[in-house]
């Protein structure tokens, strides 16, 4: 079982940027890591994933604005978010892609002027 701690969220104006971090309690080298988000009143949704081999995939609404990365040596993953929009407002979570471990507390992102 690996546990995740997300950080880096906050309040940002539209068009701004944030960099989210995900710290894992154990090694992430053997699985794909993903970011998910849950907006108020909505279901949790997939945002981006990075495979063990470095291949990345994004949900269409963030493609070209977000960038996922990983540092296996430090058991960390990151989500660089640029050109943020109000519709990006949500709690953001990281986890193993597909076969989830327990969910962390998430980090709140609010995009508002």
User: For the segment 21-72, what is each residue's pLDDT rounded down to a tens digit?
Assistant: 999 999 999 999 999 999 999 999 999 999 999 999 999 999 999 999 999 9
**99 band by pLDDT with thresholds 50, 70 and 90:** confident
Higher pLDDT pick, 88 / 31: 88
Q: What is the pLDDT of residue 113?
A: 95
Question: CA 31, CA 47: separation in Å to the nearest integer?
Answer: 17
Nearest CA to 106 out of 95, 91, 96 is that of 91
Per-residue tokens: 103: 């969910």
């Amino acid at each position: 079982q690996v546990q995740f701690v997300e950080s880096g969220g906050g309040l940002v104006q539209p068009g701004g940027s944030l960099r989210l971090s995900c710290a894992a309690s154990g090694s992430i080298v053997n699985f794909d890591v993903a970011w998910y988000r849950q907006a108020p009143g909505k279901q949790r949704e997939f945002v981006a994933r990075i495979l063990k081999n470095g291949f990345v995939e994004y949900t269409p609404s963030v493609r070209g604005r977000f960038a996922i990365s990983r540092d296996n040596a430090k058991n960390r993953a990151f989500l660089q978010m640029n050109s943020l929009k109000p519709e990006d407002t949500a709690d953001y979570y990281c986890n193993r892609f597909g076969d989830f471990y327990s969910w962390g507390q998430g980090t709140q992102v609010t995009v508002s002027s």
